Structure 1
Amino acid sequence: MNAHSAARFPRRTVHLDFHTGPDIPDVGRDFDPVTFARAFKEAHVDSVTLFAKCHHGHLYFGTDRPERHPGLDPDLDLLAEQVEALHSVGIRTPIYLSLQVDEYAAREHPEWITVDEKLKVTRWSATAFEAAWNILDMSSPYADYFADQLDEVLRRFAPVDGIFIDMCWNQPSASRWAIDGMRREGLDPTDEDHRNRYADLVAKRYMARYSAMVEKTLPADAVQGVWFNSRPKTGLSEERQFIRHVEIEGLPTGGWGYAFLPYVARFVRPLGLPVLSHTGRFHESWGDNAGLKPLAALRYETSQMLSHGLTGGVGDVLHPRGVPSRAVYELIGSAYGHIAACEPFLEGAQVVSEIAVVVDPGLGDNPGASNIGAVRALQQLRAQFEIVPPTADLSGYRAVVVPESTPVDDALAERLGAYRQAGGALLLVGPALLKNGTEPALPDLPVEGLAPAPAGETFLACEGVPGAPEDFPVINWGSRLTARALPGAEVLARVVAPYFPRSWDRFCGHQYTPPAGPTDEVAVVVGGGVAAVTVSLLEAFHEHGLETYRQLLGAALDRLLPDPLVRAGGPVHLETTVARTATSTVVHLISFLPSRETPQLDLVHDAFPLVDVPVAIRLSAAPRSVRLQPVGQELAWEHDGEYVHVRVTTAEGHAMVVVEHD
C-alpha cells in the first residue's frame, strides 16, 4: 500500500528544508532513491515534508515554469523521485511551498514586494547590502502567481499527503494593491490599525482560497490537508475551518525556548485536532546546517512532544546534491527509536487535565510573563493542566486559574461565576480579581476592600505554607491590590510593610528598605472554593524564580484540589503528564535539565537520573499491574484505596509508569 492511502496521522516526521539558491550548480546530482528512502526508514521516520518550492522561489519538480531551479538537471524530476522513493517504503510525503518569502518573484516583479508607510520595501535586513529575504505582498497579483504554482503541484502529485504553506503571518503593506484593497473595504490606509486589520483580512482570504484548492484534491480518508505556518495558535478557533490538523514550530534553541512547547501544546490540545510538533536537529535554529544538537536534547524534545499527546517532527536541511547525512539520521533515529518503543503503550490515549488556565488570546504565541510563570510553576507542582481562552467550556475541569494578564470582562466574570456555582474551584491572580478593572470579579471572593495598591515595595509573610518559613518575609515583586480577608477565610500570606518607602533621598541598604511588621492586608487567601492572590505572583515567578512564590501557589492549589490526579517527588525540574487509554493510566516522567551555556542558548547534554522517586496515581480500585515502560520493568506497588503508590528509578530521561486497570 502506498503511504498516501494510509489514513493514519504521522507520528515521527522530518521537515526536510531545501532552500537552495540559484547559484548552486549541481542540485540533486547525487540523489539515489534507494539510499534516500533507506535513510528515513532506518531512522523510524514515517513522514517527510518535501520541497516543491523554497524561499528562493525555485521549484524542484518537472515543470515548464521558469522558476524551476536552474541548477537542477533537466531530466531530473527531483520531487517526484523523492515522493516515489518514500512511498515505496510506506513513508508519507506532504509537500512544502514557501509563500510570502519568494526571491525569484521579488526579482522578477519588484512591484509585488511589500512596502511600509514610508514606501520602504520589507526585507529581513536593515540595508540592501545584506543577505536577506524580501517579503511579498499578498494583496498584489502574487497571490494568483502562487495559486498557479499550488495548482500545478496539486495536479502533478494528486492525491497529495498534505500541503505545508510557509511564511503566512499577517503582513501589513502600503503598496498600491493594498491601498486599493483597503479603500474597497472602507478602511483608512493612513491608519496603522486599519492596515493591520486589512492584513488579517487578506490572510483569511488566501487561506480560504488555497485551502479550498487543496481540499478538492484530497481523498476521503485524508488525515492531513493544508497547514498555514507562522499563524498564531491562539487564532485557531477562527481559522480551524481552513485546516484538518495543527503543526507547532518551536525549536527550543532557535528563539522559542523550552517553555514554549508546554504552553502552546496545552493551548491547542483542547481543539481536538491532530497535532504535529517541530523541533530541529540543529544546534541553534533553522539554517544552522553545520550544527548538530546532542542526542539528549533531541530525546528530551521528542519525548516532551509525546508526553503532551503530540506527534513528533524534526527539522533537517538536505544538502543540495540530495543525499541525507548519515550523522543526522543516526541522531534522529536514536531519538525516534525510543519514541517508537513508547507508542504501543499510548494507542488511543488521551491526555488528562484537571486544571484550566484561562489566557488572553490577544497575546498570540507570545504568552507573556504571567502565563509562562503559570506554566513553569504548575509543571514544577506536577499539576495536570490545559491552557484555554476565555470562551472555553470550563465544566470538565476541577479547578480554573486566571493569571494576572487575563482581563476579566462581564462575559468572563459571568462564566466564572456559573462555573463556581456548579462546584468548580477558582484561583484568581492580581488584576483578575477585578471585573473590568473596577469591581470584584465574583460576589463570593474570600476578600473585601479590593483596590489598586500604591506603587512601592512590600513583603509577604507566609502562614502554613509547606517549605516556606513563617518568620522570614520575602519581597513582593510587581504590582498588587489591597485587600482584607473575610472572616473564616484561610490566610496563606500577609502583606508586610517596609519601614519607609525607598527613594533617592531616603533609603536603606542595596535594594529595599527592610520589612517592619505585618499589616491587615492579605496577599493569598482561600475560602469557599476560591483562592484570591492579590499580588502578581505568576509574573514575579517568571521574572525572579523565587521558590516561595511556587510554594504559595502550591499551597493554594492544595486547598482547592486536595486530591490531585498525580503526586510525584524527585527534582523540581521533573515534568509529569498523564494519559489514559481504555485499559490503562500512563504517567510520563521527563527528567532533563537545560542549562544556559551561551548568552542565548539553553543546552541539554545528558538525562538527569531519577532515583527512588515516589509517584502516586489517583485510582479508586487496585490495578492489575504496574510497569515502567518501554523497558518492561515490573514495579512494586501499594494501593491505599485512593492512590496507587510506586517508586521509580531510571537513568533514561523519559519513562512511563503504565498502570493497567479495569
Structure 2
Amino acid sequence: MLFDINNSTEVRGIGAGFDPDSFAATLLEARIEELVVIAKDVNGLCYFPSEIGPHHPEPDAKNLLGRQVKACQDVGIGVYVVYPVWWDEHLAIHHPEWLMMGKDRSTSLPAYGEPPAISQMCLSHPGLLEVVKQHTSEIFAHCEPDGVWFDMVNPATTSVAACYCVRCVSALEEAGESPVDPVVQQRRQNELCNATIKELTEYARALRPDIRVLYNTMAVLGTAERLPYLDEIEIECIPTGLWGYHYLPVHGRYARGLGVPVYGLTGRFAKHWGDYGGLKHPTQLRSELASTVALGLRCDIGDDPGPALRLDPAVYGTVAEAYQEIERIEPYLRGAAPVSEAAIVVSGPPLSQFAAEMGTDDEEVSSLVDQQLNDAPEMFLENIARGASVTGLTQLLQASHIQFDIVDRADDIERYQLLVLPDTLEVDDELAGRLQRHLDDGKAVLAVHGGARLAGADQLWPRQLRDAFRGESTFERPYTRLRGAALADIGERYREFDFALYVGADLWAVPEGDDLDVYAKLTEPTSDPLHLTGYAIPPSGEPTEYATVVRSGTLGVVSFPLGLGYFRHGYWIYRELFQRLLRDLLPDPLVRSTAPGSTEITVTQQEEPERWIVHIVNHSPLRHRRGGAEYLEDPIPLRDISIDLDIDGPIETAFEARTGTVLDVRRTDDRWQVTVPEIGVAATVVLTR
C-alpha cells in the first residue's frame, strides 16, 4: 500500500485522526504486508525532524513519519518511505535557478498567486542532491524504514526530456555538442538520471547497508544499465486515470525480464490520485489486481487518506476484499516465473516509455506535454508512435492468447520461438543478421512495416524480400484485398472487398511462388483527393502488384503499420490477418482456449513443487463514453472455458485455486486440457506434476 499525501501550509489538522493502534489494526485487517509512507511531500514539507526543513506548521506533522513507521513495525508490517526528488515546490520558489528550463527559457514555476502545477528541477544542480542526501540521513536517524522509495527521479515524465538551464547548455557546448539536438538532450538527461540514481543508492546503502532502494517510473528503455542500483521496480499505473488499461500489460512485460522484483501500483481511486470521494467498485479493483499478478508482478494499491490520516472503513474494506482474493492464490504466485514463447523486440531513446495513450484532463500533465511538443516535437511524436505500435501488437498477442515478453533488441532474443518486430523498430545490419540466423534456425519472425525494412536503406532485410521495396504509397488511406488462406479464413463473400488501411502502407513488389505466399494485395483509391469532394476516396477496385501481407516459411511480413493501425482503429480485419500469420508461424502455441479475445490468459511456472499456473482474467467492461475510462464492475460470466496446454510430461491433478474446485484433466492430441466451469472476475488454474 502506498500513501500519497501532499499538504499545503494552509491545511490544518495534520495527523489529527492518527491513532497508532487503530491505524495498524486497519492495515492488518486489509491484508497489507508493506506500507509506503510520505517522508516529504511535493510541496517540500517534511514529516520528520530536519535541520533544514521545511516543516508543516502543524505541531503533529513534524513527527508523523516516525509514528507511522513505529505503528507498522510493531505489528510486523514492512515500511518504506517515499521521497520526491525533483518535484519540490518549496525549493522551486527558493531556488528558481535549479528549475529545468525549456528552449523558450520558460520554467514550470507558476505565476505568483497561482496554484503550483509540477515544478520540475534539473538533476544537474549539486545543491538539489545535497538537500536530498541530508534529508535521507535525517530520515534514517529519525526512524528505521525497511526501504526508501525515491519518486520523481526520471526527468522524462512522458518519454522526452530536455533542459536549457545554464548548467545543461554549458555542459553540452563544452563537450562540443548541440543543445538544440533532441537526441543529445535525451542522452544528457539519461546520464543525469543514472548518475543521480547511483549517487543516492550508494549514499543510502552507506548509511544503512540493509536498506532496500527503489525508484518510480523505471520500466523504461535503458533501465538495464541502472539495475545495480535498483532493488525493485515500481510501475505506477492507475488505469482509470492517466495511464489506461494498456499501460501495465506493456510495461509489465518489459520490466519483468530485468531481473528484479516488479510491482504494479494501481489506486483505490475511481479516477486519479487525490480523487477524494472517488472509490473504485470492489470488482474493478479485484480485476486490476488479478491482471497485475497474472503478469508475474507483485501488486500494490495507492491511497490518499487525507491530512488527518484517518483510514476510511469504506476504502480499507474495499482493499481488504481485493487483497483477500490475492491471499487465496498467493502460494501459486511465490517464485512463479512467466512462461513465454514469443517476444516483441523494442528499441528507442533511453528513458522512453511505451505510453501511447497517456491522456488526461489534468492541467499539470498537459503542461508537460505542451512543453515537450514545443522543445522536441519530432522525438515526442516518434515516441507516441512507438508506444502505439508496441501497444497495438500487445493487444493483438493478448487477444490471441500468445505467451510473450517485451524485450530490448540487445537482449537474448534468440531464446524465443517467435519474434514480433513493431512498425517503428529500426533494423540495422547487426540486428538483420541476427534475425536472419533466427529464421535459418527454423524459428519464426513476424515483421511489421518498418520492422521489415533495413534502416537507412530502400531495402527490406529478409533475404527473400531484399529487393521488394518500392517506396511508400502516396495515399494516406489505401486499401487491401485478401486472397488465398487469408480469404479462406473469413469467407468467400469478401473476395472483392477492399479493406481500408487507415494509416497508409509501403509498396512491396513481391513475386509469388518460390515459397512466397501473398495473403493480401494493395488496392489504391480512385484518383487524386484534390479533385474529389465528400467522404474518403473509394477504392479503384483493381488490386495492384504490391503485396501487403506475405508469408515465406517461418517469416511473416506486413507492409502497413499494423500495430499502430490496430491501436488507433481496432479494425477487426487487422486482427484476422495477424492471427492468420500466427497460425502459420506458431502452429502449436503454448495455450489454446475457447475464451473470447477480451480474456487475458497468462501462464507461469513454479519449480518447487513443479506446477503450471494459468491465469484467466475476464476483462469485461461496461459501456463507457468515447475516450473515457473503462469500468470493470459487472463482468459477464464465462462458462465452460476450455484451456489446453502444449506442455510435456505428466500432469497428475488440476484445480481452480480461488474456489478450490477440482478440474478433470485429460490428454488430447499431445496437449493437456481442462475445462473451467465458470469465471467471474478471474480464475487461477493450477496443474501439478
TM-score by length of structure 2 reads 0.88
Amino acid at match of 1:562: P
Q: Does 1:588 align with 2:588?
A: no
1:558 to 578, 583, 595: 583
2:35 to 27, 32, 48: 48
Q: Distance in 2 between matches of 1:303 and 1:436?
A: 40
Q: Distance in 1 between matches of 2:410 and 2:181?
A: 30
Amino acid at match of 2:560: V
How far is 1:597 from its partner? 3.2
2:651 matched to which residue of 1?
623
1:88 matched to which residue of 2?
74
Q: Does 1:338 align with 2:365?
A: no
Q: Distance in 2 between matches of 1:527 and 1:121?
A: 54
2:373 matched to which residue of 1?
none
Alignment of 1:605-624 (within 5 A): 605-624=633-652
Deviations 1:576-633 (A, max 9, x none): 0001112211111100223433643222222231111221111334420111222111
Amino acid at match of 1:312: C
Q: Distance in 1 between matches of 2:122 and 2:523?
A: 56
1:264 to 251, 265, 272: 251
Range moving further from structure 2, 301-310 or 208-217: 208-217
Amino acid at match of 1:415: R
1:10 matched to which residue of 2?
none
2:98 matched to which residue of 1?
112
Amino acid at match of 2:587: P
CA contact (8 A) 1:446 1:525 kept: no
Q: Does 1:167 align with 2:152?
A: yes
1:102 matched to which residue of 2?
88
Q: Distance in 2 between matches of 1:443 and 1:271?
A: 29
2:382 matched to which residue of 1?
none
1:648 matched to which residue of 2?
676
How far is 1:395 from its partner? 2.2
How far is 1:237 from its partner? 1.5
Q: Distance in 2 between matches of 1:192 and 1:576?
A: 40
Alignment of 1:229-628 (within 5 A): 229-231=216-218, 233-362=220-349, 363-366=352-355, 367-438=386-457, 440-445=459-464, 449-456=468-475, 457-465=478-486, 467-472=489-494, 473=497, 474-477=499-502, 478-489=504-515, 491=517, 493-498=519-524, 500-506=526-532, 510-582=535-607, 583-594=610-621, 595-597=623-625, 599-628=627-656
Taking structure 1 as reference, are residues 93 and 403 closer, same or farther at Cα in structure 2, changes over 3 Å only?
same
CA contact (8 A) 1:16 1:315 kept: yes
Taking structure 1 as reference, are residues 126 and 415 closer, same or farther at Cα in structure 2, changes over 3 Å only?
farther
Alignment of 1:62-211 (within 5 A): 62-73=49-60, 77-123=63-109, 129-140=114-125, 141-158=127-144, 160-170=145-155, 172-182=162-172, 185=175, 187=177, 194-211=184-201
Range moving further from structure 2, 176-185 or 54-63: 176-185
CA contact (8 A) 1:627 1:658 kept: yes
Q: Secondary structure at the match of 1:270?
A: coil
Amino acid at match of 1:505: H
Taking structure 1 as reference, are residues 560 and 143 closer, same or farther at Cα in structure 2, changes over 3 Å only?
same
Q: Distance in 2 between matches of 1:118 and 1:553?
A: 45
Q: Distance in 2 between matches of 1:358 and 1:567?
A: 23
Q: Does 1:660 align with 2:688?
A: yes
Q: Distance in 2 between matches of 1:368 and 1:571?
A: 25
Q: Distance in 2 between matches of 1:447 and 1:461?
A: 23
Q: Distance in 2 between matches of 1:324 and 1:120?
A: 40
Q: Secondary structure at the match of 1:80?
A: helix
How far is 1:133 from its partner? 3.8
CA contact (8 A) 2:11 2:307 kept: yes
Amino acid at match of 1:461: L
Q: Does 1:215 align with 2:201?
A: no
How far is 1:529 from its partner? 1.4
Taking structure 1 as reference, are residues 619 and 134 closer, same or farther at Cα in structure 2, changes over 3 Å only?
closer
Amino acid at match of 1:396: R
Range moving further from structure 2, 135-144 or 181-190: 181-190
Q: Distance in 2 between matches of 1:531 and 1:193?
A: 32
Taking structure 1 as reference, are residues 549 and 187 closer, same or farther at Cα in structure 2, changes over 3 Å only?
closer
Amino acid at match of 2:615: H
Amino acid at match of 1:377: L
Amino acid at match of 2:98: W
Q: Distance in 1 between matches of 2:101 and 2:480?
A: 51
User: Structure 2, unaligned stretches of length 5 or more?
Assistant: 156-160, 356-385
Amino acid at match of 1:511: A
Taking structure 1 as reference, are residues 634 and 152 closer, same or farther at Cα in structure 2, changes over 3 Å only?
same
How far is 1:100 from its partner? 1.1
Range moving further from structure 2, 196-205 or 427-436: 196-205
> Runs of at least 4 residues of structure 1 off by over 6 A?
none
1:4 matched to which residue of 2?
none
Taking structure 1 as reference, are residues 377 and 235 closer, same or farther at Cα in structure 2, changes over 3 Å only?
same
Q: Secondary structure at the match of 2:393?
A: helix
Range moving further from structure 2, 409-418 or 227-236: 227-236
Range moving further from structure 2, 472-481 or 552-561: 472-481
CA contact (8 A) 2:460 2:468 kept: no
Range moving further from structure 2, 352-361 or 431-440: 431-440
Q: Does 1:638 align with 2:623?
A: no
Amino acid at match of 1:469: G
1:8 matched to which residue of 2?
none
CA contact (8 A) 1:36 1:323 kept: yes
Corresponding pairs, count: 641
Q: Secondary structure at the match of 1:105?
A: helix
Range moving further from structure 2, 51-60 or 290-299: 290-299
Deviations 1:288-333 (A, max 9, x none): 1221111122111111110000000111002211211111111111
How far is 1:192 from its partner? 5.8
CA contact (8 A) 1:413 1:441 kept: no
Q: Distance in 2 between matches of 1:226 and 1:365?
A: 24
Amino acid at match of 1:215: R
Q: Secondary structure at the match of 1:238?
A: helix
Taking structure 1 as reference, are residues 261 and 179 closer, same or farther at Cα in structure 2, changes over 3 Å only?
same
Q: Secondary structure at the match of 2:613?
A: strand
Amino acid at match of 2:647: L
TM-score by length of structure 1 reads 0.91
Q: Distance in 1 between matches of 2:680 and 2:295?
A: 18
Larger helix share, 1 or 2? 2
CA contact (8 A) 1:265 1:308 kept: yes
CA contact (8 A) 2:549 2:557 kept: yes
User: Structure 1, unaligned stretches of length 5 or more?
Assistant: 1-13
Amino acid at match of 1:528: G
Q: Distance in 1 between matches of 2:176 and 2:529?
A: 52
Deviations 1:443-483 (A, max 9, x none): 54368523224322222214323642344232223222323
CA contact (8 A) 1:502 1:513 kept: no
Q: Secondary structure at the match of 2:142?
A: helix
Q: Secondary structure at the match of 1:258?
A: coil
Q: Distance in 2 between matches of 1:192 and 1:629?
A: 51
CA contact (8 A) 2:401 2:601 kept: yes
